[in-house]
Amino acid sequence: MKQSHNNIKPLFVTLSVILILSLTGCWSSHEIEEQNLGIGVAFDKGKEPFIEKELNEQGEGYLKKDLFTSTYQIITPQVASSTTKQAGPQQKSYVNVSETGDSVLQMARELSLRRQPLTSHHMKVIVISEKLAKSYDLEQLFDQDLRDNDFRPSCLVLITKGRASNSLETKTAGEIPAFRLLGIAENTYRTTRILPPMPLIKLEAKLKSGSSFLLQNVVSVNGEVKFAGASVIKGKTHKMTGFLNEDELEGVTWITGKGKGGVLKSFDKETGQLILYEIESMKSRIKPRVKGNNISFDVTIESEGRLSETWVVPGDTFKNEFLKKAEKSSEKEVKRLVRNVLEKMQKEYQVDVAGFGNQLRIKNPKVWKKVKKNWDQTFSETPINYHVKLTINDYGTSGSSKK
């Protein structure tokens, strides 16, 4: 049976109408090479960069308060073509542009007055300077980024001690700072001294939940960066209230049990020499204990690993006693780290950034409801007991040392 063609005519008429109208333009079409790809942004306290001052002197400025400076790291078409066409290793692979003002989005749009428009689809990192984090509520700072449909929720958030824009600089040719930061953030499997990466989406969740949390800190000197320590953000105020150094951060990782790899250095009691324990896996269980109105926590930390480096002479790794000694020594070290950081958390900063509250919420939701409001305060007074158990599985390919 041939198909009926009675309906074809009206269909074609409507189709031609639509087609002709569509010819009026491809409205959203923006060629990729006409855009600047924003791949990283840094927020600093407002200080107008030199260029801007000059521009403002020559032309008309606009109504704004110099609250903060955004530095955008972009890949321009020129930069991209030089990287791909290998025009010469001396060329920089990125461009940093700064704007000062009081509205995040407006500053970004200001850029379109100076260059090609900026797209934020490929933003990889947001770096905030400590000064800003101390003075402004993070929720306000990040509002635009969270609201914008262009910013991907997978963007990482970092904090720096100095000027954030410095972390977006590098002296190595061919290297792009934003990518470098991204790369370092993925190294959790090598060290326990950094936090698992915090994408924008999790930041929002934490901010909205009112609990305190940690943000990875970046230090930059002379074009080099290092992930060192973390800043403490208080849940109530959303502002930075403290800082944990690398050791303390390591302690937090042990408490939360989220480490994937890394090393633990300890010193042998008798000889005072170094023993290095390499972590293969770690696990921790935080158990809240509620007796009436008293809350306490039991933390059990377990880990398996290998003995990677020992300076103890004599030390025969082929013998179990030596391994036991190494284990004990490492366990002591873990306990020390944990104790240190707990003190800092409870006494000095009065925040719970290791997820104790979360465990309480899961195990005793009714109790959690009651103490939720002032948890940071309550937490600073809860006793915490901890037990550490390490197991050394192997010790590599070299064994005894002669006595």
Partner 1 sequence: MKMKEWKSKISKKGKVTNNDKQEVDTSQDSTDQFTDNFILNLELVREEIGHNWDVHFREFNIGRTGIRSIVIFVDGLSDKDLIDKHIMPSLMVNFSAEYKHDLPYIKGSISTEFIKNEVLSISEVEKVGSIKELASKVLTGSTALLIDGSLDALILGTTKLKTRTIEEPVSEALVRGPRVGFTESLSDNTSFLRGSGENENLSLVKFQVGKHSKKDLVVAYIKDIVDPELVQEVENRIKKIDIDNVPESGYVEQLIEDNYLSPFPQVQNTERPDRVIAALMEGRVAILLDGTPFALIVPVTLSMMLQSPEDYYERWIPGTFIRLLRYLAAVLALFTPSLYIAFISFHSGLIPTKLAISIIGNRSGVPFPALIEALFMEISIEILREAGLRLPKPIGPAMGIVGGLIIGEAAVQAGIVSPVLVIVVALTAISSFAIPQYSTGFTLRILRYPAMFCAATFGLYGVIVFFLFMTSHLVKLKSFGVPYLSPVVPYRLSEWKDLMVRMPLMMMKRRPKMMHTKNPIRKG
Partner 2 sequence: MILSPKDQITTPQAAVIVINFILGSGLLTLPRSATEKVHTPDVWISVILGGILTMIAGVIMVKLSQKFPQKTFYQYCNEIIGKWVGGLLSLFIICYFLLTSGFQLRSMAEVISYLLLEGTPTWAITMIFMWVGLYLIIGGINPIARLFEIILPLTVIFFLVVVFMSIKIFEIDNLRPVLGEGVIPVLKGVKTTALAFTGPEIMLLLIPFMNHPQKAVKALLVGVSIPLIFYVITVVMVIGALSVEGVVTRTWPTLDLIRSFEVSGLIFERFESLLLVVWIMQIFSSFTISYYAAALGLAQLSKKSIHPFMFGLLPILYIIAMIPKNINDQFKIGDFIGNVALWLFGLLPLLLLIISRIKGGKYETIT
For residue 278, give the H/E element and its range.
Answer: strand 274-291
CA separation for the pair 168, 178 (Å, rounded): 6
CB of 142: closest distance to partner 2 in angstroms?
12
Q: Residue 2 binds which entry of partner 2, partner 1, none, with Cβ cut-offs from 5 to 8 Å by kind?
A: partner 1
Residue 7's alpha-carbon distances to 11, 14, 47, in angstroms, are: 6, 11, 68
Q: Does 205 bind partner 2 (CB under 8 A)?
A: yes
Q: Residue 77 binds which entry of partner 1, partner 2, none, with Cβ cut-offs from 5 to 8 Å by kind?
A: partner 1
Name which position in 64, 92, 122, 236 contacts partner 1 (CB under 8 A).
122
378 Rama class: left (phi>0) / alpha (psi -120 to 50) / beta: alpha
Residue 198 or residue 326: which is nearer to partner 2 going by CB? 198
| Coil, helix or strand at residue 108 | helix
Give 395's contacts (C-beta < 8 A, 6+ positions apart): 306, 307, 308, 317, 323
CB of 233: closest distance to partner 2 in angstroms?
15
Q: Does 82 bind partner 1 (CB under 8 A)?
A: yes
Q: Does 39 bind partner 1 (CB under 8 A)?
A: yes
- CB atoms under 10 Å from CB of 272, counted, come to 9
Strands (DSSP E) contained in 357-396 are 384-394
Which region among 128-136, 152-160, 220-228, 393-401 touches partner 2 (by CB under 8 A)?
Answer: 152-160
Name which position in 3, 58, 90, 398 contacts partner 1 (CB under 8 A).
3
Q: Does 29 bind partner 1 (CB under 8 A)?
A: yes
CA separation for the pair 98, 120 (Å, rounded): 15
Task: Identify the residue whose tokens are 């407006």.
Answer: 106
Name which position in 6, 9, 28, 89 contacts partner 1 (CB under 8 A).
28
Q: Which of residues 13-42 bind partner 2 (CB under 8 A)?
A: 14-15, 18, 21-22, 27-28
Name which position in 48, 64, 67, 80 contacts partner 1 (CB under 8 A).
80
| Coil, helix or strand at residue 232 | strand
Burial of 253 (0-12, 13-18, 19+ CB in 10 A): buried
CB of 22: closest distance to partner 1 in angstroms?
5
CB of 155: closest distance to partner 1 in angstroms?
12
User: Cβ distance 45 to 129 under 8 Å?
Assistant: yes
CB of 152: closest distance to partner 2 in angstroms?
5
Q: Does 402 bind partner 1 (CB under 8 A)?
A: no
CB of 208: closest distance to partner 2 in angstroms?
4
SS (H, E, C) 18-54: HHHHHCCCCCCCCCHHHCEEEEEEEEEECCCCHHHHH
Q: Which of residues 361-400 bind partner 2 (CB under 8 A)?
A: 361-363, 365-366, 369
Q: Does 119 bind partner 1 (CB under 8 A)?
A: yes
Strands (DSSP E) contained in 116-271 are 118-119, 125-129, 156-160, 213-221, 224-233, 240-244, 262-267
Q: Residue 163 binds which entry of partner 1, partner 2, none, with Cβ cut-offs from 5 to 8 Å by kind?
A: none
Name which position in 37, 108, 138, 326 contacts partner 1 (CB under 8 A).
37
User: Cβ distance 64 to 107 under 8 Å?
Assistant: no
Sign of CA dihedral 220, 221, 225, 230: negative
User: Cβ distance 275 to 310 under 8 Å?
Assistant: yes
Residue 3 or residue 397: which is nearer to partner 2 going by CB? 3
CA separation for the pair 245, 251 (Å, rounded): 10
Q: Does 109 bind partner 1 (CB under 8 A)?
A: no
For residue 74, the one-letter residue type is I
Residue 35 or residue 308: which is nearer to partner 1 going by CB? 35
Can you read off the two tokens belonging to residue 216? 């990875």
- Give the number of residues in contact with partner 2, rule: CB under 8 A: 31
Q: Residue 35 binds which entry of partner 1, partner 2, none, with Cβ cut-offs from 5 to 8 Å by kind?
A: partner 1
Contact set with partner 1 (CB under 8 A) = 1-3, 5, 8, 22, 26, 28-33, 35, 37, 39, 75, 77-78, 80-85, 119, 121-122, 124, 150, 152
Contact set with partner 2 (CB under 8 A) = 6-7, 10-11, 14-15, 18, 21-22, 27-28, 146, 149, 152-154, 199-202, 204-205, 208-209, 358, 361-363, 365-366, 369
